[in-house]
Amino acid sequence: MRLLLIRHGITQHNIDDMFTGQIDAPLTELGERQAAAAAQYLANEKIDLIVSSDLQRARYTALAIAEHHHLPVLEDPDLREIAMGAWEGCTPAQLQAHNLAEWTAVRGDPVNLAPPGGETFTQLQERVDRALRHYQEHYADKTVLWATHGGFIGTLFCCALKLDLRYRRCFRHDNTSISELIFEQELPWIMRLNDTAHLRMLSETTLLPVS
């Protein structure tokens, strides 16, 4: 299976450095233009299946791409971003100011600890593994595109490469960046990582790190 991964376009939460998690935040106007630029960039790619997280920021990004390929967009909740629970809608500065002990504990071990009502990265890994198994089994000889989220993509790279989850932040994924993996052996080939060539035409684009 050839797997194309695209992170959604930018949202106001990204701009404001807020934890979004599973809040259904829309794209900004710039995010919509990023999605359109990515769609044009991928217009000549061979794509057999387009699957999106069921959150609108990913779905809008996927729909922009699908228009060039005359394909439907399937939604899969397993492709959602990690749930951040009580931290969703908050900035790191707010959390450190109001609950420093909780912040320090969770950020010190996010693989095994989660914000109240949220997921650990171990739990997210279970969703990533389930999605990878399903699509590899059913679309082994196809090119599949997933429109998803930064935390999900970083976790996927760790899963695919059999790395400890603490290395997930070594893989940067800017808004509408494109990465590509080919699964034909025990460990996949990394063909592209954080490709943002299509954003060079958007002069106001700000590339933000994954929070």
Biggest CA-to-CA distance, the chain: 50
Q: Are 74 and 68 in contact (CB under 8 A)?
A: no
**Edge-to-edge strand list for the sheet holding 178-182:** 73-75, 49-52, 143-148, 2-7, 178-182, 189-195
Joined together, the tokens standing for residue 164 give: 């400890």
Q: Which residues make Cβ contacts (< 8 Å) with residue 24, sequence separation at least 6?
A: 55, 56, 57
From the candidates 8, 149, 173, 198, give the one annotated as an active-site residue.
Answer: 8
8 among known catalytic residues: yes
Residues in the chain: 211
Cα 164 to Cα 109, 150, 159, 168, 185: the distances in Å are: 13, 17, 8, 8, 20
CB contact at 8 A, 143 and 48: yes
Say which of 13, 69, 81, 198 is annotated catalytic.
81
Q: Nearest Cα to 205, choosing from 45, 57, 47, 27?
A: 27
184 given a catalytic annotation: no
Q: Give the catalytic positions in this structure.
A: 8, 81
